[in-house]
Amino acid sequence: MAAHLSALLILTGLTGIHSLTTVRKVSVKRGGSVSVPCLYESKYTTHVKYLCEGQDWLTCSYAVKTNEQDGSGRFLISDDKQQRIFTVTISDLSVYGSYYWCAVETNGGPDDGTIKICLLYLSVTQGRPQLSVDRQEVTGFIGEDVTVHCHYSVDGESRWCRLGGSCVKEPSGSIDGTTVTINVKVSLVFSVTLSGLRTQSSGWYFCDKGDLQMPVHVTVQERLSTTTLAATRGSNTFESTHQPVNHTSVFEYEEHTTVQAVSHSVSFHLKSFSVRLSVLILVVLVGLFVWFIFKRRKRTTAQTSAATPPEEEVTYSNVETMRETSGQRSYAESDVDGM
């Protein structure tokens, strides 16, 4: 085993171990997932990056590449060319540990033509990992603080390090102008607080305990004021004023921005639906009220008609009056005298 490790160190040293940087050993729970960053030199920005799976570099197999999609669905790779970090998320981890190699293809590139690699070991456990964090992605705001809780069950010095940069150990220190405080008062947890955050504080860090590391990505953004947020909502747009890290993997700042945008959209549609529903209810109530009044009036009219007795039938006759003439009167009188 010692001979194998020695040969491995010689191999990695000869093939550019200093050109790539990642964590050495990560503890993960069975069935879970983990994101691992690999830092590379600026001259490899346009090169293809990939992850190779296997204990031996010469016999390892491609797991995922930046220029190809993973058919198994277990791997997700993204390349942040601005930060010079490609990140691989590995899911559905088995109970057995696995060796992985971060690698950059350099053939045909402006360098010595050799492949650059660095080794990573994933230790998979049945229970809680030996070193873990609540979330691998945290978000803070410029000028404020952010805290990361590192849970552990191994011995060793507690440290907080920046990938490819310096480390701070208990109780405090500074990394790239950001104050770092480490609190170990709680059993089996050391809490790391980054104070006075700046835009430059964004990037990959890791908890370090014994021979284990756990990567954590910190995103620092500008906090939107109430006025800015109100004006943005009024224009029916949602534009964040912070400068996000330029990679395509699913990080928390993207989730946070997406959730806010979806929340505003849902809120707008809910309000519109509420107004329409209120108008519909009002129309229905008015219709019911008119129908009730009409029904009641019709019923009252019917009752009044039933209570009034029918009028007696009246027959009308025409009476003609005839006027007697003088001739007729004399004739009548002569008739009387003759008798």
Residue with more model confidence, 270 or 278: 278
Report if residue 155 sits inside a domain.
yes
Query: What is the tens place of the pLDDT at every residue in 48-69?
Result: 999 999 999 889 999 999 998 8
User: Residue 100 has what DSSP assignment?
Assistant: E
Q: Could you tell me which residues come within 8 angstroms of residue 254 by beta carbon, excluding any fewer than 6 positions away?
A: 244
Residue 184 has pLDDT above 90, yes or no: yes
CATH of the domain at 118: 2.60.40.10
Q: Please give the Cα distance from 242 to 223 (Å, whole number).
A: 8
DSSP-assigned states of every residue in 42-69: GGGTTS-EEEEESSSGGG-EEEEETTB-
Of the listed ranges 126-135, 216-225, 273-282, the least confidently predicted one is 273-282
Amino acid 276: pLDDT: 83
**Do residue 11 and residue 102 come from a single domain?**
yes
Tokens of 187: 């059993």
**Do residue 231 and residue 156 come from a single domain?**
yes
**Do residue 211 and residue 155 come from a single domain?**
yes
Tokens of 291: 């129908």
Residue with more model confidence, 239 or 288: 288
pTM exceeds 0.85 for this model:
no
Average pLDDT over residues 30-50: 94
**Do residue 122 and residue 143 come from a single domain?**
no
**Do residue 32 and residue 46 come from a single domain?**
yes
Range of the domain at 3: 1-127
Nearest 10 degrees: Cα torsion 158, 162, 166, 170: -20
**Do residue 122 and residue 136 come from a single domain?**
no
**Do residue 143 and residue 232 come from a single domain?**
yes
**Do residue 120 and residue 4 come from a single domain?**
yes
Tokens of 257: 């921005």
- Contacts of 4-8 with C-beta under 8 Å, sequence gap 24+, read 8/57, 8/119
Report if residue 332 sits inside a domain.
no
Report if residue 65 sits inside a domain.
yes
Q: Please give the Cα distance from 112 to 47 (Å, whole number).
A: 13
Residue 4 has pLDDT above 50, yes or no: no
Q: How many domains does the chain have?
A: 2
Residue 132 has pLDDT above 60, yes or no: yes
**Do residue 110 and residue 168 come from a single domain?**
no
Report if residue 299 sits inside a domain.
no
Question: Which amino acid appears at position 125 of this protein?
Answer: T
**Do residue 93 and residue 225 come from a single domain?**
no
